[in-house]
Amino acid sequence: MSLVVFTAAVGMFLAPGGFTTIDPITAAIAILCIAIGAGASGAINMWYDRDIDQHMLRTRNRPLPAGRLVPEEALAFGVVLSIGSVAAMAHWVNAISSVLLAATILYYVFIYTVWLKRRTPHNIVIGGASGALPPVIGWAAVTGDVSIDAVLLFAIILLWTPPHTWALA
């Protein structure tokens, strides 16, 4: 999650005018919404993967497979935080960054977690789009739009994600 927050902040910094054109409180709210949205989608991912997480050494001690959380509560927590982060972004930042945050959460949960993760070893290549969107969200929070420069930031992260992830695997 720290990488998500960092790249969102970089997107805000690199946007025209950077942090000088956005109110510091609005910038902080945007970063907080992005962090909460990332955490929420991670909670939903862990809820969905709890059956396989209990069999993997790296993930078996997570709260759900270890039995420290009730699955339905974890799912509700993730859904409520997802909706709350998107609504807060729309209310206090702007509509485009809210739509991008919602798209990121939905992509991570449904495309990466549900559809790709268990079906193809290429899940990181395609699913990496959700991890590449935070700098675009940060950019949109500052400018209220998405330019080719923001798309370039997306492409850089998207192309960097597979080798980075495979090196850690």
Report the amino acid identity of residue 3.
Answer: L
**Residue 32 sits in which domain range?**
2-168
Q: For tokens 């949109």, what's the residue? A: 140
We report the CATH number of the domain holding residue 10 as 1.10.357.140
Nearest CA to 110 among 49, 35, 45? 45
Cα 109 to Cα 45: distance, rounded to the nearest angstrom: 6
Q: Which residue has the higher pLDDT, 123 or 90?
A: 90
pLDDT value, residue 169: 65
- 161 pLDDT band, cuts 50/70/90, is confident
pTM for the predicted model, two decimal places: 0.93
The chain-wide mean pLDDT, for the chain, equals 94
Cα 8 to Cα 3: distance, rounded to the nearest angstrom: 8
Q: Which residue has the higher pLDDT, 137 or 52?
A: 137
Nearest CA to 60 among 78, 71, 46, 43? 46
Of these ranges, 50-54, 102-106, 125-129, the one predicted with the greatest mean pLDDT is 102-106
Q: How confident is the model over 54-67, as a mean pLDDT?
A: 91
- What's the structural domain count of the chain? 1
